[in-house]
Structure 1
Amino acid sequence: MIRGIRGATTVEANDAKIIHSQTEALVKTMIEKNKIEPEDVAHVIVSVTDDIDQAFPARPIRELPGWQFVPVMCTKEMSVPGGLPYCIRVMMTVNTSKEQQAIKHIYQHDARQLRPDLLDE
C-alpha cells in the first residue's frame, strides 16, 4: 500500500545552515517514528514558505545514508494571509503495510500548531 507521511517544521531565520539542520532533524524523526527504509520511498516533496530562499531543503535529505537515489523535489508553499511563516513542509510517499491511522505525522517547533490533532505526545 502506498501512504503519505506528512511532516512540518519552522526555522527561526532564513539561513542555509538552519534550513538544512531543521529539515534533517524533521526527516530523521519521520524516518525513525515510521521505520522507513529508503528503498520503500517513492518520492519526497518539500515545500517552503516565501520567506525561505537561502537553501534547498532537499539537500540534507539526499545526503542521508542510502537516500541518494530517492527522488526529492522542492517547491513553494501557497502564500495565504495569516499563514505560518518560515515553514518547511514535507510529504513523503512510501510503500508500507501500516494502516492509515498507524502513520506518525511529525510536526515540530511552531509547525505543531498546523495539526495539533496529529501530535504524538
Structure 2
Amino acid sequence: MRAVRGAIQVDRDDPVEVMDATRLLLQEIIEANSLVPDDLVSILFTATPDLRSGFPARAARDLGLTDVPLMCAQEMDVDGGLPRTVRVLVTAETPLPRDRVRHVYLGGARALRPDLAQPMAGAR
C-alpha cells in the first residue's frame, strides 16, 4: 500500500474551476502511477480556506469513484501559504516501491514541491 500526494492551484474560487482542476489532478495521479479504481483505498482532500465554492471530493464522484471512501478538510491557514490550493492524499494498493511513486503537483502548486513536480501531459 502506498500514499500518493498531489496539489493544484486554481485561479479563483469558482465551483466549475475547482471541480475541473481536482478532476485533472486525480486523473494525472491515477495515470502517473498506473492505478485503476479498484486500487484506490481512500482519498483525503484539503482545500485552503479561500476555496469555499464546493467539495473537491465531488470531482472524484464525477470520475465514477463512487465506492472509494473520500473525505474533505480545510487546509491550515498559515501566513504565506499558497492560496487557492486543493491538495490530495491518495491511499492505494500498488506494487510500486516507494521511490517509484509519482506525486503530482500542477500549476502554481509546483512551487510546493519543486523536487517532485514534473511536467505531465495536460498539466496546467
TM-score over 0.5 (shorter chain): yes
Runs of 4+ in 1 over 6 A off after TM superposition: none
1:44 Cα offset (Å): 0.1
| Structure 1 residue 95: Cα displacement | 0.7
| Structure-1 residue corresponding to 2:61 | 62
Structure 2: which 5+ runs fail to align?
120-124
RMSD value, Cα: 0.8
Match of 2:37 in 1: 38
In 2, Cα distance between equivalents of 1:115 and 1:12? 19
Q: Percent same amino acid among aligned pairs?
A: 38
Give the aligned residue type for 1:79. D
Aligned to 2:28: 29
What TM-score do you get using the length of structure 2 for normalisation?
0.93
Q: Which ranges of structure 1 fall in alignment gaps of 5 or more residues?
A: none
Aligned length: 119
Letter in 1 for 2:81: G
Contact 1:20 1:60 in 2 (8 A): yes
SS in 1 for 2:115: helix
Aligned to 1:72: 70
**Amino acid of the structure 2 residue aligned with 1:81:** D
| TM-score, normalised by the number of residues in structure 1 | 0.95
The equivalent position to 2:101 in structure 1, one of 75, 100, 103, is 103
